[in-house]
Every structure is written in structure tokens, then in C-alpha cells.
């Protein structure tokens, strides 16, 4: 389901940017293969490491300068608009709430909303101040 959302977002991004979809397709397939390899290693490895770490490790190794074919891999991945790819994944991760989290929200109620708004506001203002000072 997430893969379908990512592909649709990448397709729309390519339409907006004017680049052909077939240019980004090999890069998307490479990303998919990296994720599958990381998930398989995470499932069958004798010691525990989160799947995200395995996927990251596989991706890093595949793009290292001494890895055979890294130039081709990097060239294919450069065609993928990563902002368009990551947005639906992060939205799905943010919406994937469990029953335990809903129970916690019911206990805290409106206080959690106030704290969240204050945190978001503080983060935004802090980022704006840093950007204003540095830029």
C-alpha cells in the first residue's frame, strides 16, 4: 500500500517537473530492492537490529565508492525525486497509531493537544530565529 502511494507521488512529481517517468523507474526499483534485502536480512539475522538499520546499511554499502556498480546505482537514484517519495512514507508513519496510543490519548485528553501546539510553535519559532540569524 505504501509502495503504491510512493509510486503515485513519484509519478505526479515527474509530471510536474517535466521529466519522464521511465527515467525514475530504475531508481525506484533499486530502492525497492534495497528495502526488500534489508527486510529479509532483518528477519533472518541471528541478532536483533531494527529493519530500518538494515535497510540503511544496505543502501549505504550499495553506494560506497568501492562497491561494484555504485556509479550506475547513484546515477539511477539521482533521477528519483526523494522529497516526493518520502512524503507519503512519513505521512503513513505518522498516521500508524496503535490502540495503546489511542488509549493514552484518551487519558491525557486536551492537555496533550496544548502541549503539542506549544511544542510545534516553539519548534517553528526556533527554526525561524536560527534561519534569520544564519541567513
Three-state SS for 21? Answer: helix
State the first-to-last Cα distance of the chain, in angstroms, to the nearest integer.
40
- Report pLDDT for 2: 63
Element (DSSP H or E) covering residue 81: none
DSSP letter for 18, please: T
Q: How far apart are CA 36 and CA 42, in angstroms?
A: 10
List per-residue pLDDT tens for the chain, 135 residues long. Answer: 666 777 777 777 777 777 777 777 888 889 889 989 999 998 998 888 888 899 899 999 999 999 999 899 999 988 887 777 777 777 777 766 677 777 777 787 778 788 888 999 999 999 999 999 988
- Report pLDDT for 88: 74
CA proximity to 62, closest of 34, 29, 26, 27? 34
CA proximity to 71, closest of 61, 79, 63? 63
For the four alpha carbons of 122, 128, 131 and 135, in that order, the dihedral sign comes to: negative
- Report pLDDT for 48: 87
Amino acid at each position: 500500500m505504501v509502495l503504491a502511494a510512493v509510486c503515485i507521488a513519484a509519478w505526479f512529481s515527474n509530471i510536474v517537473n517535466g521529466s519522464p517517468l521511465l527515467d525514475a523507474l530504475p531508481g525506484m526499483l533499486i530502492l525497492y530492492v534495497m528495502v526488500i534485502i534489508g527486510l529479509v536480512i532483518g528477519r533472518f539475522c541471528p541478532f536483533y537490529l531494527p529493519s530500518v538499520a538494515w535497510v540503511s546499511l544496505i543502501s549505504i554499502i550499495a553506494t560506497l565508492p568501492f562497491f561494484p556498480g555504485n556509479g550506475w546505482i547513484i546515477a539511477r537514484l539521482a533521477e528519483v525525486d526523494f522529497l516526493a517519495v518520502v512524503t507519503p512514507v512519513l505521512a503513513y508513519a505518522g498516521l500508524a497509531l496503535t490502540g495503546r496510543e489511542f488509549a493514552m490519548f484518551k487519558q491525557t485528553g486536551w492537555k496533550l493537544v496544548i502541549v503539542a501546539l506549544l511544542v510545534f510553535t516553539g519548534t517553528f519559532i526556533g527554526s525561524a530565529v536560527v534561519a534569520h540569524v544564519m541567513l
